[in-house]
Amino acid sequence: MKAIALTEFGEPDVLSQQELDDPLVGPDRVLVETRAAGVNPVDWKIRRGYLRGAFPHHTPLISGWDVSGVVRAVGPAVTQYKPGDEVVGYVREDHVQNGTYAELVAAPERTLAHKPSSVDFTRAAGLPLAGLTALQMLRSVDADSGDVVLVHAASGGVGHLAVQIARALGAERVIGTASERNHDFLRELGAEPVTYGPGLPERVAEVVGGDGKIDAAVDMAGGTALSETPGMLRDSTRHASVEEPDTVLGQGGHYVFVRPDAGELNWLGGLIDRGELRVEVQRSFPLHEAARAHELLEEGHVRGKLVLTVE
């Protein structure tokens, strides 16, 4: 099969298209013919070697954790899927090697869900990691009916989904931080936009009104945004971040490193099919242009998601 893999860590040019052996279909594995693979910030962090202290890495290393595609074959212990089914998955395991930037992916059954029927494979591939991250963060802070929720970096891959999922969970209001060029986009999603940067707490308080406090917050930015978050909350423990674990845990908040969850992924797919969740794909690239997708993602300021397509 064709796959985008690396044998050393570094700049985007370490990614190359290679001919590798087709993956093995173990007893609880589902062999997926890839139609699209989502591109996430963790992908370029792995490419640079930043996660070597957290997971064993083996080369040749195929990048990617998000996939959408069609089931080709299943192992004898698989009960939920059959050949021909359309699926999505957040295919993360406890070591880093067999990713999703490939024509074929052998995914553990527990990492997959049925593809939302109302969207194409490209949009579906943008859902798993980002959608699960957003949902698990919001659940960690008990985002619920009537809450005012703050979403940092609200126009990005996780953020734009967190805005919509917070509303689906019953939030009364969602405040989203973003650059001014993305404010109209956030309004379309149901958020009240606030420009990030110096003076953020005061701007949030002005938008919220009353005592100026929010009920819960989720952070994808880190840095000053994270350090200022507890002071904006009624209960300083109701905030979560995917950045700076020592900082957020020291504040009494929650650090979230997304985990595969088939039930949650199916729930998110249901939101899509009911028209309650939209996956924004800023741009798609053919598989062989994975390095270009990494370059664009590392530059920052991507609205929504980047996706690789497999023909």
The count of domains in the chain is: 2
Q: What is the mean pLDDT of the chain?
A: 97
Place of tokens 């700049």: 11
Burial class (CB in 10 A: 0-12, 13-18, 19+), 21: exposed
Please check whether residues 176 and 227 belong to one and the same domain: yes
Q: What is the pLDDT of residue 118?
A: 98
Q: How confident is the model at residue 311 (pLDDT cuts 50, 70, 90)?
A: confident
Show the domain range for 227: 130-255
CA 173 to mean position of chain CA atoms = 22
The rounded percent of the chain whose pLDDT value lies above 70 is 100
| pLDDT at position 64 | 98
Residue 250: partners with Cβ closer than 8 Å, 6 or more residues away: none
Per-residue pLDDT tens over the stretch 283-292 = 999 999 999 9
* pLDDT tens-digit readout, 4-15: 999 999 999 999
Q: Is the pLDDT of residue 120 over 90?
A: yes
Residues 90 and 204 in one domain: no
Q: pTM for the complete prediction?
A: 0.97
Round to whole Å and give the CA distance between 239 and 249.
Answer: 10
Question: Residues 6 or more apart from 241 whose CB is under 8 A from it?
Answer: 137, 218, 219, 220, 222, 226, 247, 248, 253, 254, 255, 256
Q: What distance in Å separates the CA atoms of residue 57 and residue 59, rounded to the nearest whole number?
A: 7
For residue 222, which phi and psi values (nearest 5 degrees)? 70, -165
CA 252 to chain CA centroid, Å, is: 24
Residues 6+ apart with CB under 8 A from 125: 35, 36, 37, 38, 66, 67, 68, 88, 307, 308
Q: Do residues 236 and 165 share a domain?
A: yes
What does the pLDDT average to over 247-265?
Answer: 98
Same structural domain, 286 and 178: no
What is the predicted pLDDT for the residue at 6?
Answer: 98
- As a whole number, mean pLDDT of residues 281-306 equals 97
Q: Taking 90 as the threshold, does the pLDDT of residue 164 lie above it?
A: yes
CATH code for the domain of 251 = 3.40.50.720
